Amino acid sequence: MRTIKFTKLHGLGNDFVLIDGVSNSVDLETIRSLAPEWCHRHFGIGADGIIVVESSATNNLKMTIINSDGSEPQMCGNGIRCLAKFVMDENLVSQTTFTVETLAGTIVPTISEGPDSTLVKVDMGEPRLLNHQIPIQGPENQQSILREIIVNGHKFNGTAVSMGNPHFVIFSENPALINLGAIGPLIESAPEFPERTNTEFVAIKSRDSAVMRVWERGAGETLACGTGACAVLVAGVITGQLDRKATIHLPGGPLIIEWDIPTNHVMMTGPAKTVYSGVIHY
């Protein structure tokens, strides 16, 4: 029997098992196969996903994210904040701003201390809005803004945004009334999305405030989704409903999102907290 050390962290309730692959040898294929077991909330550690931190040839560190079903998304906003706190606590980096290699490209977090947790501001890069970038079926160089899709006989109008991973943002008067457990999987696997999609149901409260619920591809409904909050702001701006800086309220708490004009980059600021550390046998 083998053992591996881990630390569990969360960003607004979106929780992850963090593993140090810089100081230790890890087998990613084994971890992928064990992800459903380790992430199980009754028979395992319990988490929305697993994050393995490794050395990078091009950046300070490399991030591999594994969903609770064993699939691998390109990026995770809450996950990158948890990674930032983890690597600082474990002395894997010495600077408060550093670069992380992900499947979505280079991501740059900056760490600061908040009143009751570590705050992390993350440069999430440029949003991708063309159909082929997301991807969503349709003319390659066009955008899907308030586009209608039909699942199980129900019509939904959503705006497609990629923040390194695909999102379909649906504006709704009351997201709390959505049967997300039923609708989320249908939209996630709709034929319009060749790589599946994350789905957000969003109520606009003011020019600088919105409330959202999220169904995450490969993880189900979660308490928070950082890339989803970024996608919500972008979708709100391009549909004329939100200013370029707004607070996005998720079930786990708020994130501050800003879409910067000079750089066209989206900035996300929110907390990360350590829950506990331990050793798992496998």
Average pLDDT, the chain: 96
**Short-list 96, 97, 93, CA closest to 107:** 97
Quick one: pLDDT band at residue 116, thresholds 50, 70, 90? low
**Structure tokens that stand for 102 in this block:** 């992900």
pLDDT at residue 260 greater than cutoff 70: yes
**Predicted structure pTM score:** 0.91
Cβ neighbourhood burial of 185 (10 Å; 0-12, 13-18, 19+): middle
Residue type, 231: A
- Return the closest-CA partner of residue 98 out of 127, 45, 141, 55: 55
Q: Can you give the pLDDT at residue 261? A: 96
Enzyme catalytic residues: 76, 225
Mean of pLDDT values over 204-227: 97
Inform me whether the pLDDT recorded for 117 exceeds 80. no
- 159 Ramachandran zone, left/alpha/beta (phi>0; psi -120 to 50): beta
- Cα-based torsion angle of the residue sequence 220, 221, 224, 227 in order, rounded to the nearest 10 degrees: 50
The confidence score (pLDDT) of residue 212 equals 98
Q: Measured between alpha carbons, how far is residue 104 from residues 17, 57, 91, 151 in Å?
A: 20, 16, 25, 28
* pLDDT confidence tier of residue 113, bands split at 50, 70 and 90: confident
pLDDT digits (tens, 9 = 90+) for 65-75: 999 999 999 99
Residue entry with tokens 């004329």: 240
Question: Is 56 a residue whose pLDDT tops 70?
Answer: yes
pLDDT tens, position by position, 6-54? 999 999 999 999 999 999 999 999 999 999 999 999 999 999 999 999 9
Mean pLDDT of 197-210: 98
**Number of alpha helices (DSSP H) and beta strands (DSSP E) in the chain:** 4, 16
Tokens of 211: 């409330």
| Each residue's pLDDT tens digit, 127-168 | 999 999 999 999 999 999 999 999 999 999 999 999 999 999
- Rounded distance between C-alpha atoms, residue 34 and residue 137, angstroms: 33
pLDDT band, residue 1 (cuts 50/70/90): confident
- Whether 64 contacts 54, CB under 8 Å: yes
Task: Catalogue all structural domains in the chain, each as residue range(s) with its CATH number.
Answer: 3-120+271-281 (3.10.310.10), 131-264 (3.10.310.10)
Residue 6: which of 61, 46, 55, 60 has the closest Cα?
46
Predicted confidence at residue 102, as pLDDT, reads 97
Q: 205, 173 in Cβ contact below 8 A?
A: no
pLDDT of 115 higher than 90: no
Q: Does 271 score more than 80 pLDDT?
A: yes
Q: How confident is the model at residue 237 (pLDDT cuts 50, 70, 90)?
A: very high
